[in-house]
Amino acid sequence: MAPGVELYKILEVSPDASEAEIKKSYRKLAIKYHPDKNAGDPAAVEKFKEISAAYDVLSDPEKKKIYDTYGEEGLKNMGGAGDFNPASVFSRFFGEDFFGGGGRQKRGPRKADDMVYKLGATLRDLYNGKTKKLKISRNIICDECDGKGGTKEGAVQNCTPCKGSGKKVTLRQLGPGMIQQMQTVCPDCHGKGEIIDAKYRCKKCKGEKVVPDNEIVEVCIDKGMKSGQKITIYGKGEQAPGVQPGDLIIVVEEVRDPSEQFVRDGKDLHYRHELTLSEALTGYEFTITHMDGRVLVVRSQPGEIVKPGDIRVIENEGMPQYKSPFDKGRLYLKLDILFPTAAQLTPDVLKKIEALLPPKPRLGTLPEEHEDVHAIPFDPMDTHENGHHSTHDDDEEEHGNQARCVHQ
């Protein structure tokens, strides 16, 4: 019978691997494919079984010797081949509570309070990425007494009146046979559950065990981040004796830059540009300086006519995607038309334009009874008393919803 190699392949080690190398590889693969980390993935569960079966053999000196000599056939002849429980192998290696015992999640160590700070960032910061400095204030463990509160051994004692609970229970009789139980903060220790002898109380923290501290931290804003996105710096939160430090949670908040011409819309950007009437009719070319300093040259296609409010799209020039900065959204260009002023359109110019443009439509034959009306420019600031916009002079008489007419 041929010696076995398949189990070594499953554990991703060579047949001459040492016991330590086999253990190391099993540890890495077992954690990676454990069912608790791959819920709903049948392939991962099956892989976990294979890894556990391989380690069950190769970690047993007797089974390993038979497998190395005779292969899987030798294990079958030995009896009990494949007779194992994957979870049992895992627990034997890592312990019962690695992923939580009894199906319950393992409870982590106690932590001090987290701190949350807001950090303003402009659209350009979010586009290009930026490292910013932030001043934080927090409590840290006193280095004078190492968080004990006292400078002498035994200076800190449990509060006798509350027995270290920090709470005091009192009974109050409300009436015959009626007693009310009240729980208040212990006045002797002020809820701390311990008392420090004043003679040995730490002078730096005054027995509080922590002292206030200010620190400047550097915060890296990655390209493509969004307003409201959180950055966590582990261990930079509040400190307290006997527990892990809390975390510093920074919430990115986009602040509007009045001079910014770009506007974000998710992964896309919007930009407005004004064309002259000549450019809109005969073709245009203009430049856009992007937020990273690159200059984009935008040109029209031959024969292209632009109408007011038309939109053009440039692919892959929008916002960079978070954690994938080379993948960008779209840049939308809204094109506005700047019409010439009345002073620029002299009678001679108007005649030339009229001769070049398609002929204007004519009214044709009018009915004998008709009215000529005068349309005046709309003023959005001029409103009716009922809140509707008005296009009429205040001194004109209003006739319901009818248009006002100037009669000839």
DSSP annotation of 315 reads T
Instruction: Report domain extents, the chain.
Output: 6-103, 261-366
pLDDT of residue 72: 79
- As a whole number of angstroms, the distance between CA 98 and CA 31 comes to 10
Least Cα distance to 46 among 92, 99, 96, 86 occurs for 86
Summarised one tens digit per residue, pLDDT across range 158-182 is: 888 887 788 887 777 676 767 676 7
Tokens of 6: 């398949």
Following DSSP, what letter does each residue of 325-370 receive, concatenated?
Answer: EEEE--EEEEEEEEPPPTTT--HHHHHHHHHHSPPPPP--SPPSS-
pLDDT by residue for the chain (408 residues), tens digit each? 456 788 889 989 888 888 888 888 888 888 888 877 776 678 888 888 888 888 888 888 878 888 888 777 777 665 544 445 776 677 666 654 455 544 344 455 688 999 999 999 999 999 999 999 999 999 999 999 988 888 877 778 888 888 778 888 777 767 676 767 678 888 888 888 888 888 888 999 998 999 999 999 999 999 999 999 999 999 999 999 888 999 999 999 999 999 999 999 999 999 999 999 999 999 999 999 999 999 999 999 999 999 999 999 999 999 999 999 999 999 999 999 999 998 989 999 889 988 988 898 888 899 989 999 999 888 888 765 555 554 444 444 444 444 333 333
Kindly indicate whether the domain formed by 6-103 is annotated with CATH number 3.40.50.300.
Answer: no
- As a whole number of angstroms, the distance between CA 327 and CA 241 comes to 46
Angle made by CA atoms 397, 400, 405, in degrees to the nearest 5: 55
Which amino acid, one-letter code, is at 334? K
pLDDT of residue 154: 75
Tokens of 184: 């208040």
Tokens of 21: 């190398």
Token pair 């070319």: residue: 285
Phi-psi bin for 51: left (phi > 0), alpha (psi -120 to 50), beta?
A: alpha
**253-257 CB contacts, 8 Å cutoff, 24+ apart:** 253/118, 253/119, 253/120, 253/121, 253/227, 253/228, 254/120, 254/121, 254/122, 254/123, 254/126, 254/226, 254/227, 255/120, 255/121, 255/122, 256/122, 257/122, 257/123, 257/124
Which amino acid, one-letter code, is at 310? D
Phi-psi bin for 143: left (phi > 0), alpha (psi -120 to 50), beta?
A: alpha
Domain 261-366 class?
mainly beta
In order of 124, 173, 187, 188, 318, the CA distances from 162 in angstroms are 58, 21, 9, 8, 64
pTM: 0.60
